[in-house]
A and B are shown apart, each in its own frame.
Chain A
Amino acid sequence: MKVFHGILVALLLALVGGVQAADTLTQITGDVPAPDFTLQDTNGKTHRLSDYRGKPVIVNFWTTWCPPCREELPSMNRAWHQLEHEGVAMLAINMGEDEDTIFVFSADYPTDFPVLMDQSGEVIEQWPVKGLPTTYVVAPDGSIAYRAIGSREWDDKALLDKVRALK
C-alpha cells in the first residue's frame, strides 16, 4: 500500500513537473490587515497570529494532497533553518486534514516549523486565498506585505531578502 502511495505521489508530482517555481513575491499595496487566527499546531501548541506582531511572519496554506504544496515544503524547511534565528516566523496552515494524516505525511516531508491545523477550513475562508498553495508574508505591523500563489523556492536568497527587509 505504501509503495502504491509512493507511486501515486510521484505520478502527481510528475504531472505538475512542467511548472517552474517562480522565485518572486507579489507586493501587496495599501494597508491590508492580515486576518487574525488562533490555531493549534500538530504538537498541541496554540498559535495566535497577533502574538507574532513585531516580526515578519510567513503564513503558508497547504494540504498533503496538493502536489505543488509538497513540492515547496523542502525549500520552506531549508528557508526556516536560515530564518529561525533571524526574528522571522513561519507558520504552515494545513487545510482540512487531521493530525494523523499530517503525521504520516511528515515521514516523507519533514518540517521543523510549526504546522497548524485548520480542519474546518474557517481560517482559510477569512484570507483571500483562491488556490493551494498560497503564501502570505505578514509585515511586523500585521499588514500583508507580499503574496505568492503557487509554489516557490523559498530558500532563494533574493526572495528571503525581501522578507528580511521587512524587519
Chain B
Amino acid sequence: MANVLVNAPKTAKKGQVVEIKALIMHVMETGFRPGTNGRIIPRNIIEDFSATWNGREIFRMKMSPAIAANPFVSFSAVASESGIIAFRWTGDEGFAAEHQVNITVT
C-alpha cells in the first residue's frame, strides 16, 4: 500500500476554514525520460486526486506528468460537520490509494 501522509486538524469550530495537506509516495514517472538502457521509461503517474467530506466531494485535481514526484497537495475546506475526510488517488498501472482522517467540528 502506498505511503500516505495527511495533515488536517483533528478539531475545528463550525464554519472555520481549515487547511488540509496530503502527500503520497509515488514516482510520477513522466514518460519522457530515457532510462539507463536508453529506452524511454513508460509513463506512471497519479492522474486523479479527490477529497470527500462525509461522502461529499470537496476537492478534485487532475494531475499531469508535470507534478513533482511524491505529489503534495494543499487545499482548504470549511468545517461543516463532524465526520470523515477521505482521500483517494488513482493513476496509471491500476494505481489506487485511499486514506481517511476523522475531524470533530464543534
* Real binding pair: no
A-contacting residues of B (Cβ < 8 Å)? none
